Structures are given as structure tokens and as C-alpha cells.
Structure 1
Amino acid sequence: MASSMNTFAMNLSSFEPLSGGNFKRWKQDIEIVLGLMDLDLALCEEELAAVTEDSTADQRLKTKKWEKANRMSLMLGQSIESLKKLKWDLMTTLTLLKLDENKSVKEHILKSVETTAAKLKDLEVPVDDAFIVYMVLNSLPSKFDQSKVSYNTQKEKWTLDERISICV
């Protein structure tokens, strides 16, 4: 068991730390290591019945393996909780963004809005382009109100690139 834990720790230490841009890769790495070490059992199977005096040696062994896999999964669950917080923080950032008067609209869209949206997409949070355009419009100051009204009264919707060209 000690060598198994050392191998697990060594494999985890070789992972790139979880960040907004590497969720898919991080998740694959975790699943591969857990699968190779036979620690994905608790993720794939329901909790086994409690061991009793009548339990066979095989049932006891399976329960012990499941409990170990469950403990490891719970440890990873703490990483997943931090991932949820990261998603929440990015969504909050996206919805509260405001144009910095020292930046151009194009720079604001490309560096602030698109970067935040790209991080969300990397974390497998669905963010469609219409929502991003709406967030861009929402982030602009009142001097862009006419542009906002124009967008809202048109039948066709703008892409993000069209939004950039209109605002610049």
C-alpha cells in the first residue's frame, strides 16, 4: 500500500496544477491515474454492503478496495470544490466586467471578455457567443447606449467580431 501511495503521489506531482485553462487535460490525467491504479472503483460503482461476519474473503477485499478508492476520490473532491469556485469566480467576473476608460473597446473585448469566456469554455462551462455579445454590451458605458439600442432592435444578432468592428 505504501508503494501504491508513493506512485500515486508521484503521478499527481507530475500534473500541471489545475487552472482555468487546463481543466480538460487535468481531468483526463486524474482519470487515467485513478484507472491505472485501480482507484476509480468508487467513481464507477455504488458503495458496497457493509462487511459482516458472514462476508466472504472476496467481499471483504472488494469492500476494502472500494473504501480506499473512495478515500482517494474524496481527496480529489477537494480539488473539484476549488474548481467549482474557479468557475463561479470566472462567471462573476464575466458578468461584472466594465470597460476601463483607459482601454479601447477592442482591447477590452479581446483581453477581458474573450479571455474570461475562453477560460470558462476550457472548464467545460457552456458560454455561447450571443451571451458573450450581451456581456460586452452590458460592460460598455452609457456613451454606447445608442449602439445597445441598435443591437436590441435588430432581428439579426451580431457576432463578437462584428461587435468589435462596430465599437471601434
Structure 2
Amino acid sequence: MRLPILNEENYAEWLELLELTLGYMNLNLAINEEKPEDLTDESTPDQRNYYAKWQRSNNMSLRLIKANMSRAIRRPILNKLTVREYLDSIKEQYVSTDSSTVSTLIAKLGAIKYNESKDVRDHIMKARDIAAQLKDYEIDLPEVYLMFCNNFVVMRHRFNMHCSFGVGSVNDDPLYTTIGGIYPLDSCVD
């Protein structure tokens, strides 16, 4: 497995693979643990050993991260002493990108329609994939929304129902036309 180069579009995937890679290489100590106190003359051999392991983890992690970033992203980040600080600086650059990505994913979920020439399972898996991507950004869709959309598509396909059957008679009641006020039911079907 190769760690991709971090660019403007792959932060979530890059971070996940980075954490996996550092864990596999046993270099994730500096990410998981705070920097130990500086050594003194009274430090025990165990403290010295732990400090050396933490320092190695921190230095190697920083090198791996910097080697797998595009220069356009690396340049504006100030050199930080710890890998945690460095990762926090990288994350700050992606906050505004996250909001546009979330908007795009929500729009994509709202626009996804079942194509009868394809398998129902594919449609359901696409919707679940988008919902999982939104969950990465801490956006939890109501489970009932996905269940309703998927069940409606399956029922419509199985019983050859028309769109107007599910939505037309209850158009006046907002409870039936939206769930949570932001997820239109007519986005589930074409």
C-alpha cells in the first residue's frame, strides 16, 4: 500500500491511510501520546527509553507526512515541533474545503435517482456510500431518510408503482414531503 500525495481533494482518504501506515510501521506513538516531559539528570532509564521512542516516532512521522504532501499545501504550514501540531495545521487548511465538499455530497444525495436499467442494489449502495462520506464530516443523515428512500425505490420497482402514488396525494402535508425539513422525498425517485 502506498500513501498518496496529499492534495486539495483527498484529505480524508490521505489522513486515514497516513494513520494506517504509521500504525503499521509502529510510528504512531507521537500521534497517540502527548510529548513526554524533557529529560533531566533524574530521569529513569524507562523514561529515557520512552522519550527516545517518542522522539523517533515524531521525527519519522513528520518526515513521512512532508514527503507525501504537495508543495502547494506544505509551503503555508509553519514548521511545527510535533506531528500532532503539524496535522492540526493541515486540518485547518481543509475546514473551508470541508464545507464545500459537504454541500456537494448533500446535493449529490438529493440528485441521486434510481435508474431502472440498473440494479436496485447499486442504487442503494450509492446512497449509502454518500451517507458514509457525509458521516466522515460528522453529518449524520436520519436513518429513516435512507430507509425510506431505499424502501420506496424497491417497492416502486417491485410493484411497478408510479411516482405520483408515493408523493402526489400528500403533497400538501410537509411531514410527508420532507423528513427533518431538508430532505425532499421526491429526490428519492425519478
TM-score range, shorter chain: 0.3 to 0.5
Q: Of the two structures, which has the highest relative contact order with CA contacts closer than 8 Å and spacing of 6 or more?
A: 1
TM-score, normalised via structure 1 length: 0.47
Higher helix share: 1
TM-score, normalised via structure 2 length: 0.43
